[in-house]
Amino acid sequence: MWNLIGAGAWVLLLIYLVFVVMNVRSRHLKMVVMNQPRLRVVALDVLESLVFVAALYGMAWVTWLRPIDYTSSTMVRVNYEYHPLILQSDGEKAYYATVASGNGKQPVRYFTYWTANTRNKTNSRQADISSGSQPLSVRASAYPWKNKQLTKLDATTEKAFVATMTAHYRKTFLNGLGMHVGHLAERFDLIRIPNDTMIKVLPLNAEN
């Protein structure tokens, strides 16, 4: 329901565009027929066009360009899930996660990890692996986390867990204007492992 605000705004903007085009055409015809001052007609054309451009930019910003503030409780609702990682083995190596490099055309890594007999796949745009002394990796630190909970999990799972943060847009006027209410704003997986030896790195284009 809230997203109808944005849909209605886009419809009004389209109607205004049609109005501007017809109004400009009508004024120019009158200018020729009635020999009206050209400066006044052009000034009105520019004014109406500027209003449309400003409104278009405003709608584009709130729909596509508006940055997400994950610390704003009025903009997004943030939830967390935590699951222990399940150790895997290929007969030669024990590991908690595999890392593949895709097709080599883009610098994206594909991660696979296991939780409670479930195989999970994600990529480096939406996840990161932490294997240092601190639970958070550099990339993951850009998002809000419950640091005390991560520290506790470090101790109880022997540094082998995945923490998933999801953020959904709340019911606000701006979110409705951008037609985002209820939609997923971001998901990020923090894959925590004891050290780098617990990662299985697959060669380029290898099947995972």
The count of C-alpha atoms lying within 13 angstroms of the C-alpha of 78, restricted to the half-sphere facing its C-beta, is 16
Q: Which of 12-16, 105-109, 113-117, 138-142 has the lowest mean pLDDT?
A: 105-109
Record the pTM.
0.85
Which tens digits make up the pLDDT trace of 80-100? 999 999 999 988 899 999 999
Q: What is the pLDDT of residues 23-75, one digit of tens each?
A: 988 888 877 777 777 778 788 899 999 999 999 999 999 999 999 999 998 99
Q: What's the confidence (pLDDT) of residue 207?
A: 55
Residue-wise pLDDT for 122-163, tens only, equals 999 999 999 989 999 999 999 999 999 999 999 999 999 999
Instruction: Give the pLDDT score at 208.
Output: 52
